[in-house]
Chains A and B, each alone.
Chain A
Amino acid sequence: MEASGVVPISLKSSGRSRRRQRTNYVAQGASVFAAFLAIGVLALVVISVLVRGLKAINLDLFTKNQVTFGETGGGIANGLVGTAIIVAIATAIALPVGIFAAIYVAEFAGSRASRVVRLALDVLNGVPSIVVGIFAYALLVVGSGYAAWKASVALAIVMLPLVARSTIEVLRLVSDSLRYGSYALGISKWRTVLFVVMPSAIGSIMTGATLAVARAAGETAPLLFTTSIFLPNQVVTDPSHAMAAVPLLILFDSESPDPSLNNQAWAAAFVLMFFVLVLSLSARYVLARRERKLRAR
C-alpha cells in the first residue's frame, strides 16, 4: 500500500463517479422504459383481441355453423369440432414418434447417431410451416383430395420436433443414479427405461407435449393446403373428409367485407387464444416446477 502522496479518500462521490452513477440510472431507466413500452404494446394487442372477441362471443358461436352467403349470424361449431379432431389425431401421431425418437437419442444411441437424430430434429424445427403445408399437399393431397387426417399429418410434422426435443431434454435431466440403481437391482434395460426412467419424466414430457398441442392448435399454414375445402354448414367427424378448423375460419373471416363475419373472427380468435394460453401457461407452470424438482434430485 502506498498511502503516502495519495489524495485522501473522500466518501463524497467525485465528478467521475457521479457521472457513472448518472449513466447507471439513465441506462437502467431506459431499459425499464423500453421493457414497459414493449410489454404495454403487447398487452394492448392481447387486450384489444380479447375485448373485441368477448364482445362478439355468444352461444351461437359454439352451436351453429357458417351461414349461407349474405346471411348474418352463424357460428364456428364445425371449426371447433374440426380443430379438436385434427389436433387430436396429430397428437396421436406426433406423441409416440416423438417420445420414442427421444428415447432412442437419450437411452440407446451412440454419440454419432444421437447427433444425427438431434440434427434432424433441429432441421425439422426450422422448416417454416408453410413449407410443411405445400409438402403435405404435394405428397398427400394431389390426386386424392382434401382430408382432415392429412392436415393432422402436417400438424404432426410441426409438433414432432417440439415433442421430441423437449422429451430428450427431460430424459437428460433424469438422474443417472436412478438408471444405475435400477440396473444394479438386476432390472433389464427396457424395464428400466419404461418403468423407472419414464415414470419420473412423464409429467414433464406431457407438459412439453401440451405446449406442442397449443402451438399446433393455432397453426394455419399446414391446414390451408390440406383441409381448407370443407362443408360450411355441417359438423364433420369423419377424418377422411375435410373439416373446418378455427384458424382457417379466422383467416377467411378476417378479410371479409362483412362486419358480422369480422366479429365472428374476433370471437373465434378469443376462443382459440383462450385455449392456447390456458394450455401453454399451465403447461409452462407445471414444467417449471417439474424441472426444478428433477434438478434438485
Chain B
Amino acid sequence: MTLSVTKRTVSMLAAAALLAVCVAASATASQSKHTGGQLVGAGSTFVQPLVSQWQAAYPAVNGTNIVYQPIGSGGGIQAITNRTVDFGASDAPLTPDQVTNCKGCIQIPWALGGTSVMVNLKTNAHAPLHITGPVLAKIYLGQITSWDDPAIKALNPGISLPSEKITPVYRSDGSGTSYNFTDYLSAVSAAFKSKVGLSTQPPFPVGVGGKGSSGVAGVVKNTAGAIGYADIAYAVTNHIQVMAVRNAAGKYTTPGTKSITAASAAFKNVGTTGEVHIVNPPKSAPTAYPISTYTYVILPQTTGNAYPLKTFIFWALTKGQQYGVKLRYVPIPKPVLVLSEKLLKTVHS
C-alpha cells in the first residue's frame, strides 16, 4: 500500500542521514588525534595573517590548538568582555569604558605592523602613487571625489591620473585598523578629527563598507577606482597596489620592515599600560611609515586557562615573532617586549 512507499522513503532518508553522520564521525576520528586542549581567540583582522601562521605552527610546539576568528577588533574586545573567548585581539587599545566593562583585563602589545593604503587604479606609474594624510582625510570626508583632482595630481607629477571616481572603502565592523587609520587622519587633519574622529567604527560620511580586512581588500580589488586600508599583508598576498604616504619629514614611505621599525623606534617612552601610539612619527624619523600600529592581545587577568594561555602568548611574543617577517610584520622592539612580558606575568588563575 501507500504506507510501504513512504515507509521506504522515510527509512531511506533516515539511513542517509545516519550514514552522513557516521561518515563524518569516522572521517574526524582519524584527524582529531592530538587534542591537547585548545585556546579560543577572536578579534583583529589586522593581526589575523600572523595568527594564522601561529595556528599552523603552535600545535607542534606543545599540542595546544589555537582557535582564532577574525571578527574585527571591536568584536575581539566584545568577545573577551563577554568571556566568550580565552583571549581577544585588538589593534585599538581599550577605552576607559571598555577597561571597566572587561573587569580586570590587560592589553599586551604582541605584534607590530603597518596599515597600507590600497588602491585599484590603472596609471602609467611604476612606483607606488604618492598621497599625504590631509589628502587622504579629504578623500574620506568626501571632499575629493575624483582621481584627477589637482590635489592628487600635485603629489604625482608626470603621472596621468584618470578622471575616475574615487570609491573610498572602509570597515563596516568594529575595527582596530579603522582606529589606527583614523588615529593617523585625526593627527594630521583637524577637519577630520572634528567631523569623524578617532574610533573603531568611525562614521565616515562617504564610501562603501566591507566586512573585515579581507572584505575591504575584496572590495578594493574588485572595484576600479577604489581606495581602502588594511594591514599590508592583505595587499601583499592579494597583489593589490599600495600608496606611498608622506611622513612628517616629507618623505614618501610604504609599510615595510624598515619603515615600520623606524616608526616604532621614534617613540621611546612606552609607558606602563600597554597602550602605545606610533602614528605620525616626528620629523626625526625620516624613513618611518606614518600609519603603523602595535596590535594587542587582551587577556583576563584571572582565568582558569592561565597556564596554557601564558605559555602561548609568551611563545607568540618571542619565537612567534619570526613568522611575521614574510608578511611584513615587524618583531616588537626590546622595550615593548619587556613591558609585554611584565604585563603577561600578572595573569594568574
Contacts and interface: CB of A to CB of B under 8 A. Distances in A.
A257 B71 contact: no
B234 interface: yes
A81 B9 CA distance: 24
A88 interface: yes
A232 B40 contact: no
B210 A255 contact: yes
Contacts of A290: 2, 6
A73 B109 CA distance: 32
- From DSSP, what is the main secondary structure of chain B's interface residues? helix
Interface stretch (B77-85, B157-165, B277-285): B77-85
Contacts of B60: none
Contacts of B2: 289-290, 293
Interface residues of A, number: 46
B6 A144 contact: no
B327 to A, nearest CB: 7
Interface stretch (B45-53, B136-144, B268-276, B339-347): B45-53
B214 interface: yes
Given A68-B52, A255-B214, A257-B234, A234 B84 contact: no
In the complex, which range does the number of interface residues on chain B fall in?
A: 35 or more
B221 interface: yes
Contact of B27 (A81, A141, A203): A81
A228 interface: yes
B196 interface: no
B52 to A, nearest CB: 4
Interface string B185-215: 0000000000000000000000000111011
A281 to B, nearest CB: 13
Q: Which of B32, B85, B240 has the most CB of A within 10 A?
A: B32
Interface string B215-254: 1011111100000000001100110100000000000000
A65 to B, nearest CB: 9
A241 B35 CA distance: 12
Contacts of B67: 229-231, 242
Given A231-B38, A286-B9, A236 B28 contact: yes
A114 interface: no
A142 B80 CA distance: 10
A236 B32 contact: yes
Q: Which of A77, A203, A241 has the most CB of B within 10 A?
A: A203
B13 A210 contact: yes
A77 B237 CA distance: 24
Contacts of A230: 67, 69
Contact of B71 (A204, A228, A234, A241): A228
A199 B1 CA distance: 13
B70 to A, nearest CB: 9
Contacts of B10: 202-203, 206
B238 A257 contact: yes
Interface in A17-60: none
A272 B55 CA distance: 28
A181 interface: no
Contact of A257 (B31, B84, B220): B220
Interface stretch (B18-26, B257-265, B295-303): B18-26
Given A143-B82, A229-B67, A257-B221, A200 B3 contact: yes
A199 B3 contact: yes
Interface string B54-72: 0110000000010111010
A203 B56 contact: no
A135 to B, nearest CB: 15
B56 A145 contact: no
28 contacts: A68-B55, A69-B327, A70-B327, A84-B21, A85-B21, A88-B21, A143-B82, A143-B83, A144-B84, A145-B40, A146-B84, A146-B85, A199-B3, A203-B3, A206-B9, A229-B40, A230-B67, A234-B32, A235-B31, A237-B28, A237-B32, A255-B210, A255-B212, A255-B215, A255-B218, A256-B217, A257-B221, A257-B234
Interface of B: 2-3, 5-7, 9-10, 13, 17, 20-21, 24-25, 27-29, 31-32, 38, 40-42, 48-49, 52-53, 55-56, 65, 67-69, 71, 79, 82-85, 210-212, 214-215, 217-222, 233-234, 237-238, 240, 327
Given A145-B85, A233-B56, 10 more contacts: A70-B52, A70-B233, A81-B28, A85-B24, A143-B82, A206-B13, A229-B69, A252-B214, A257-B218, A290-B2
Nearest first, the 9 A-B pairs at minimum CB distance are A203-B6, A257-B217, A229-B69, A69-B52, A255-B215, A235-B28, A257-B218, A69-B49, A70-B237
